[in-house]
Chain A
């Protein structure tokens, strides 16, 4: 029940066109790579690259900005901790449309519509809060005695953070980065509204096959498979941490 719809899409992507529409479904057919080859000749290739560039850049950016902040929040007992956390959580929870309207207007003015930097910036709205939220629970779990020992030995706050805490949190860092990547990669809504042609991302490109090219199901299935491929691979890698990431101020673009 759970897996059937998923496998059906996979099998459609390698099924010859004439068999897709034939019923009863032919379960034995000669698998073909035609759909993938046809797909790769279209603009889909550029969209796929766009998706990769945007997701990687926004991930790096939000990690660099967000990880030190998460560390500070975990260690410093700021007076306004509660309010800060509420702000971070609610910016993660806010409906994307709330950011889309003002960003659309501002980007029109700044000429950032349909550009990759435009997308990278708007993805910070959810990624930065995700990094802070997730990394904070990791840092809360690393004992303070370690860096306090380093301070006694004369290390600075920055030095002990870089040399002791970060290496210890490597699994958390990796998991968080993969989540940022996945959420940016999966985004459909922002990309749909803020891009046109030049910087269209893969999910939007796949949907465009539905609207304009007369329902080429084979191609749509192949495109869908390509879009989910990195997601499935990365999810398997971070299986152990999936639960935390998916529940830390959940999801969805």
Chain B
């Protein structure tokens, strides 16, 4: 599968699959070992291995999600003890959602943030992956360097950008000022604050799309490219009609992964703008955080979260349909 090229275990899988795909040659030999059926005791052993994980997963993920669903039907507010277990108007939170302007605003901010970051990350990732793919010798060293923004603790990334955006200490804003250019304080300007977040987010996560696309590019067979070159196709046409269709699944999957992650955006917003100025950078996730832990409207925020969880679940399901649960070879 394109995600994990050039790792030894995957190559082993590939060998196995190649063996399977040559049935005529192999027919003389006994059936491959892995098709052997498992005995009862072996099946039981496997189920036993799976059990602790399932039990823990049920306790820490499934049960809390159900609990979340239940609280979303109550007006739970920790400052008002009466609201615990009050199911008299179960859908009140959801009808409130339909009218809540601030929630609608948060959805709109979310859409802007997600669209901008995902598309910019795909573009930047693709551009750099194409560059790195040409100079293969140069590649290993570069890869590690490019990985750094992605592996840094998100909080450190946020601090780094806070420094770069704070007029008193920012070397970038100083440089702009001394060149006589306008150097606005990005994170306090309502028109620019969201772009400040987008810039930092793209910096943090373009390595992810780059890696996924680079892996896909390296899986690409040479033959169609050579053939097209012989037919006199230019670089641009090669890219458009051969490279792009080949990496389309990788583009889609990395875009989806980033889309899901963009719904969780938190540390950057918390540190850089705190959702402000006003509510211009208040994405849905952040709005839930404020409703739940600043205002203590836990019932209402549960309802918003249920909506978010449904969205991420659908996106995960979409990814699963493309990638499948097993490592697959195209």
The interface of chain A, by Cβ under 8 A from chain B, is 2-3, 5-6, 8-9, 12, 20-21, 23-25, 65-66, 68-69, 71-73, 75-78, 81-82, 84-91, 93-106, 121-122, 124-125, 128-129, 132, 137-138, 140-145, 148, 151, 156-158, 161, 172, 182, 185-186, 188-189, 192-193, 203, 206-207, 210, 217, 220-221, 224, 227-228, 231-232, 235-236, 239-244, 246-248, 250-253
User: How many contacts between A and B, using CB within 8 angstroms?
Assistant: 285
Contacts of B174 in A (CB 8 A): 23-25
In the complex, what distance in Å separates the CA atom of A188 from the CA atom of B270? 10
- In which size bucket is the chain B interface? 35 or more
Structural contact, B153 and A231, CB atoms closer than 8 A: yes
In the complex, what distance in Å separates the CA atom of A137 from the CA atom of B325? 9
In the complex, what distance in Å separates the CA atom of A137 from the CA atom of B14? 13
Structural contact, B3 and A102, CB atoms closer than 8 A: no
Least CB separation from A161: chain B residue:
B49
| B38 close to chain A: CB less than 8 A | yes
7 nearest CB pairs, A to B: A141-B9, A85-B325, A69-B53, A68-B49, A102-B64, A76-B46, A157-B45
Which of A72, A94, A203: most chain B CB closer than 10 A? A94
The interface of chain B, by Cβ under 8 A from chain A, is 3-4, 7-13, 16, 33-34, 36, 38, 41-43, 45-47, 49-50, 52-54, 56-57, 60-65, 67-68, 71, 144-156, 159-164, 168-169, 171, 174, 178, 203, 208, 211-212, 215, 254, 257, 260-261, 263-264, 266-267, 270-271, 285, 288-289, 292-293, 298, 301-302, 305, 308-309, 312-313, 315-317, 319-320, 325-327
In the complex, what distance in Å separates the CA atom of A156 from the CA atom of B319? 37
Structural contact, A73 and B50, CB atoms closer than 8 A: yes
Least CB separation from A240: chain B residue:
B7
Contacts of B289 in A (CB 8 A): 97
Q: List 5 A-B contacts (CB under 8 A).
A: A8-B160, A72-B49, A97-B305, A235-B147, A252-B154
In the complex, what distance in Å separates the CA atom of A25 from the CA atom of B208? 32
Contacts of B38 in A (CB 8 A): 75-77
B274 vs chain A, min Cβ distance (A): 10
Which of the residues A125, A157, A192, A244 comes within 8 Å of B46, measured between beta carbons? A157
Given A207-B155, A235-B151: A247 in contact with B211 (beta carbons within 8 A)? yes
Structural contact, B159 and A206, CB atoms closer than 8 A: yes
Structural contact, B151 and A231, CB atoms closer than 8 A: yes
In the complex, what distance in Å separates the CA atom of A86 from the CA atom of B313? 9
B183 vs chain A, min Cβ distance (A): 11
